[in-house]
Amino acid sequence: MSYLPLKDIPSTRVIFETDLCCDVDDVGALVLLCDAVKRFGINLAGISVNVNGENSAAACSALLRRMDMLSLPICVWDGETPSSGNKSSYVDYLAGCLEPDRKEKLIVYSPVDFYREILTDSEDGGVVIISVGFFCCMDTALCRLPELFCRKVRSVVAMAGTFREKPGYKEFNIRCMPEYAHHFVSEYPGEMIFIASETGDRVITDLNGCAGCDSDLIFESYRIYTGGKLTRPSWDLVTVDFAVNGVNERYSLSERGTATVTADSESFFTVHDGGRHAYVNFELTHEEIGVIITDMLKDAAGLK
């Protein structure tokens, strides 16, 4: 059994789960995903923002408009969120770039309504979730719509956990809302591919040298978050790149097995026959993949 990349099955409906607010790599990841929609005809069905921020939906809409995307269903988490996910200068900036009339017309879905609408209209096994944030929205959908969720969702590609390095390390996307990650990873019966923290933290996106981009939404988001350094680890961009392109000269998959997330936020992986989980390994150096990811982002965003 091998992961089926989205570029090879563009009819697959994609849900993008993002903690837009906590880090700026979510911006880069969404840009890469929108570019894949244009290049491969990938069917982006909706975006779920798994933090409860007042400007999250407007920021997301502004990015979609920047990438010349039509309006999409947007969900925003309506429960408690760690303090790190409630306020962000770059999110406030993006929301301020959205035209007032467009902001007024925004419809924001609850997680259950969002998932119900998309899954009901999808083929069995016809949905893939790319998750680069917390597990709260999709776990809520799994709990409230279990039969529908498990029948429609084929795979989840998630930036979460640590498996080869830092034993016992409590990775951010898990430790901030551990109860949801613990439940989802143990109860979702389908395929899960993990991009672990140690995979993306040394892959650096570098937007230095982009001339004349000071007014661009994407460039400014990176500048604001990084304090002008314009470099940032690429966890979420690697996740989207793998989800779209699958195994290639950059990426391979571990042996199949079972990932475990403990109630105390630790993550482990056990190899065994018939496992429904795997994690991504690199076939190139972190530096080489960083250059590739940076070039992909610049091309997708038109940053030169």
From first to last of its 304 residues, what are the pLDDT tens digits of the chain?
A: 689 999 999 999 999 999 998 899 999 999 999 999 999 999 999 999 999 988 999 999 999 999 999 789 999 999 987 655 567 899 999 999 999 988 888 999 999 999 999 999 999 999 999 999 999 999 999 999 999 999 999 999 999 999 987 767 899 999 999 999 999 999 999 999 999 998 888 999 999 999 778 889 999 999 999 999 999 999 999 999 999 999 999 999 999 999 999 999 999 999 999 999 999 999 999 999 999 999 999 999 999 8
Share of the chain above pLDDT 90, in %: 86
Place of tokens 């959908």: 141
Measured N-to-C along each axis, helices 217-226 and 25-40 cross at an angle, to the nearest 10 degrees, of: 160
Q: What is the pLDDT of residues 202-236, one digit of tens each?
A: 999 999 999 778 889 999 999 999 999 999 999 99
Distance CA 295, CA 19 (A): 24
CB 72 within 8 A of CB 64: yes
Q: Write the burial class of residue 32 (CB in 10 Å: 0-12 exposed, 13-18 middle, 19+ buried).
A: buried
Distance CA 23, CA 90 (A): 9
Place of tokens 């650096």: 204
pTM metric for this prediction: 0.97
SS3 165: coil
Question: Number of helices and strands (H, E) in the chain?
Answer: 13, 13
Helical residues (DSSP H) of the chain, grouped into ranges: 25-40, 56-66, 89-96, 100-104, 111-120, 136-144, 146-152, 172-175, 178-187, 197-200, 217-226, 235-245, 286-301
Domain boundaries, the chain: 9-299
Q: Are strands 267-271 and 257-261 parallel, antiparallel or unpaired?
A: antiparallel
The correct answer on CATH 3.90.245.10 for the domain covering 9-299 is: yes
Q: Are strands 127-132 and 153-159 parallel, antiparallel or unpaired?
A: parallel
So what's the pLDDT on residue 84?
Answer: 54
SS3 68: coil
